[in-house]
């Protein structure tokens, strides 16, 4: 009996680990909710809200959601500009970038995304730092 | 008619002038835990190793301040440290620490002051391929030199130089965030300098390796290990490498707490000095 349970566990475990990031983030709907929560927090953050003045926030929401879906292995194709072009002349510094990361983390925490999935997504987004931040 | 302001207009003006040029790291320009803790010699770091990271969460054109209290209690000794640091622009860190070493079993006490400076040369802890690389110095001065002198120390003050590299992996093994720091130090300090500098057995500088590795269980809790090579300059007692196993808690950008189990080896002829380390830091 015990051995049977152990074998069943051994069989299930690799499947759980193989579950891709897209699924762990809650697929399209989960990702949309995370990005919405993140942008909501950004809007209330005096440090960075001004970067979104006059920006079509619905479009930003659609593009970021699409990008996260794409990056995490979901069935989406990011249709926006590359990161360098999209952020040109916006004057985004390290502090701004980190503030956005904090809001993304807070949004994922609110959706109870496991730390392992949070880290996977952050590691996929971090390389964009050099294209977004102006020295 | 308006009521007069309590402090008058000129005082308000002076306050405004004083505060305008400096922006304090209020919400912090850097991510949680990237300011690290305050190590035993006052520098930003782990517990026993100074790290390439700068204390506090100050970013571009911001000033950050930390104050810390640390205590190490091993079998026959107790070390108390009060420290403070200023960081500017995530570029320069200045620190001060006062160490008091209570010789619980032998009797008496030793103490020293440490003034430190650290400069970030290149790289970033989290972003980019390059690790964060910093150089630093710690100027140490004994305040009770009678005992160190009697056991063979050659000097009551000296400067430690070090170079550190630190890197974080956001999605490391087990999908956890990992941080590693390697520090190379040039030093003549006997037991951090509490037993003076240089000795009757050896009076030259040594290059010493110090390393820390930590993993974040979640955003707020990290566990890790540290190792610090030590010189062995005095003939009256051998000095051994230090190591610790720590748990760090970062409930907010204003407070951090580090607890550790430490093994300080042999000190002043008394072997197997193991015990506990506790450090609390407030950052602004």
In this predicted model, what pLDDT tens digit does every residue of A56-88 receive, in sequence order? Answer: 999 999 999 999 999 999 999 999 999 999 898
Partners of residue B177 in chain A, C-beta under 8 Å: 119
pLDDT band at A5 (very low <50, low <70, confident <90, very high): low
Of B251, B140, B125, residue with least CA distance to B177 = B125
Query: How does pLDDT run across A14-50, given as a tens digit for each residue?
Result: 455 456 999 999 999 999 999 999 999 999 998 899 9
pLDDT at B106: 87
Which residue in A has a C-alpha nearest to residue B171's C-alpha? A119
Cβ count near B64 (within 10 Å):
28
Partners of residue A128 in chain B, C-beta under 8 Å: none
Closest CB to B30 among A98, A122, A123: A98
Write down the mean pLDDT value for chain A: 89
Determine which helix (DSSP H) or strand (DSSP E) holds A22, and give its type and residue range: helix A21-24
Chain B touched by A106 (CB under 8 Å): no
What is the Cα–Cα distance from B84 to B86, expressed in whole angstroms?
A: 7
pLDDT at A12: 56
CB contact under 8 Å between A119 and B217, yes or no, is no
Instruction: Over range A90-117, report the average pLDDT.
Output: 95
Q: Check whether A134 has a pLDDT greater than 90.
A: no
Task: Give the distance from CA B175 to its chain's centroid.
Answer: 28
Q: Give the side-chain half-sphere CA count within 13 A for B228.
A: 29
Cβ count near B246 (within 10 Å):
22
- In order of B209, B234, B237, the CA distances from B153 in angstroms are 22, 7, 12
Which residue in A has a C-alpha nearest to residue B172's C-alpha? A119
- Domains in chain B and their CATH numbers? 29-283 (2.40.160.40)
CA distance A108 to chain B (A): 12
Q: Counting Cβ atoms within 10 Å, is residue B56 exposed (0-12), middle (13-18) or buried (19+)?
A: buried
**E-state strands within B155-264:** 157-169, 177-187, 206-216, 221-228, 242-252, 255-263
CB contact under 8 Å between A119 and B29, yes or no, is no
CB contact under 8 Å between A95 and B126, yes or no, is no
Chain B touched by A92 (CB under 8 Å): no
Of B82, B83, B93, residue with least CA distance to B55 = B93
pLDDT tens for each residue of chain B, 284 residues long: 444 444 444 444 444 444 444 455 457 889 999 999 999 999 999 999 999 999 999 888 899 999 999 999 999 999 999 999 999 999 999 999 999 999 988 889 999 999 999 999 999 999 999 999 999 999 999 999 999 999 999 999 999 999 999 999 999 999 999 999 999 999 999 999 999 999 999 999 999 999 999 999 999 999 999 999 999 999 999 999 999 999 999 999 999 999 999 999 999 999 999 999 999 999 99
Which phi and psi angles does B198 have, rounded to 5°? 70, 165
What is the Cα–Cα distance from A77 to B41, expressed in whole angstroms?
A: 52
Chain B touched by A119 (CB under 8 Å): yes
Within 48-67 of A, beta carbons closer than 8 Å to B belong to none
What is the Cα–Cα distance from A80 to A86, expressed in whole angstroms?
A: 8
pLDDT at A135: 72
**Residues with Cβ < 8 Å from B223, sequence gap 6 or more?**
B214, B215, B217, B245, B246, B247, B248
ipTM over 0.90: no
Which residue in A has a C-alpha nearest to residue B168's C-alpha? A123
Angle, alpha carbons B45-B256-B39 (nearest 5°): 25
pLDDT at B7: 42
- Domains in chain A and their CATH numbers? 21-132 (1.10.490.10)
Determine which helix (DSSP H) or strand (DSSP E) holds B80, and give its type and residue range: strand B78-88
Beta-ladder partners of A2: none
pLDDT at B12: 43
Of A128, A123, A41, A10, residue with least CA distance to B216 = A123
Partners of residue A119 in chain B, C-beta under 8 Å: 170-172, 175-177
Which residue in A has a C-alpha nearest to residue B178's C-alpha? A119
pLDDT at A89: 87
CA distance A135 to chain B (A): 11
Which residue in B has a C-alpha nearest to residue A115's C-alpha? B218
What is the Cα–Cα distance from B42 to B35, expressed in whole angstroms?
A: 13
- In order of A4, B88, B111, B140, B274, the CA distances from B118 in angstroms are 59, 11, 23, 15, 30
CA distance A127 to chain B (A): 7
Chain B touched by A116 (CB under 8 Å): yes
């Amino acid at each position: 009996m015990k051995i049977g349970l152990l074998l069943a566990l051994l069989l299930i475990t690799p499947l759980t680990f193989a579950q891709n990031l897209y699924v762990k983030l809650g697929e399209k709907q989960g990702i949309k909710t995370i990005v919405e929560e993140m942008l909501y927090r950004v809007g209330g953050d005096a440090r960075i809200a001004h970067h979104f003045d006059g920006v079509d926030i619905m479009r930003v929401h659609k593009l970021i959601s699409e990008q996260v879906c794409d990056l995490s292995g979901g069935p989406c194709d990011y249709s926006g500009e590359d990161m360098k072009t999209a952020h040109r002349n916006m004057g985004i510094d390290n502090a701004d970038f980190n503030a956005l990361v904090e809001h993304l983390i807070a949004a994922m925490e609110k959706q109870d995304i496991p730390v392992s999935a949070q880290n996977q997504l952050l590691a996929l987004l971090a390389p964009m730092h050099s294209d977004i931040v102006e020295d | 008619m308006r009521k007069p302001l309590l402090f008058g207009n000129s005082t308000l003006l002076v306050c405004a002038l004083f505060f305008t040029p400096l922006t304090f790291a209020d919400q912090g320009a850097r991510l949680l835990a990237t300011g690290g803790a305050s190590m035993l010699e006052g520098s930003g770091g782990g517990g026993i190793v100074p790290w390439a990271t700068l204390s506090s969460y100050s970013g571009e054109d911001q000033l950050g301040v930390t104050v810390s209290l640390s205590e190490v209690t091993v079998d026959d000794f107790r070390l108390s440290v009060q420290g403070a640091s200023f960081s500017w622009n995530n570029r320069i860190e200045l620190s001060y620490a006062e160490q008091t070493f209570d010789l619980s079993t032998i009797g008496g006490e030793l103490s020293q002051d440490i003034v430190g400076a650290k400069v970030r040369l290149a790289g970033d802890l989290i972003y980019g391929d390059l690790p964060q690389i910093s150089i630093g110095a710690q100027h140490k001065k004994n305040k009770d030199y009678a005992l160190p002198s009697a056991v063979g120390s050659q000097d009551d003050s000296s400067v430690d130089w070090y170079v550190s590299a630190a890197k974080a992996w956001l999605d490391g093994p087990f999908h956890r965030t990992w941080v590693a720091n390697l520090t190379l130090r040039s030093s003549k300090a006997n037991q951090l300098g509490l037993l003076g500098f240089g000795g009757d057995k050896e009076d030259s500088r040594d290059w010493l390796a110090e390393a820390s590795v930590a993993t974040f269980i979640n955003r707020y809790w990290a566990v890790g290990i540290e190792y610090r090579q030590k010189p062995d300059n005095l003939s009256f007692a051998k000095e051994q490498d230090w190591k610790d196993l720590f748990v760090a808690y970062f409930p907010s950008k204003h407070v951090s707490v580090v607890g550790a189990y430490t093994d300080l080896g042999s000190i002043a002829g008394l072997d197997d000095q193991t015990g506990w380390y506790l450090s609390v830091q407030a950052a602004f």
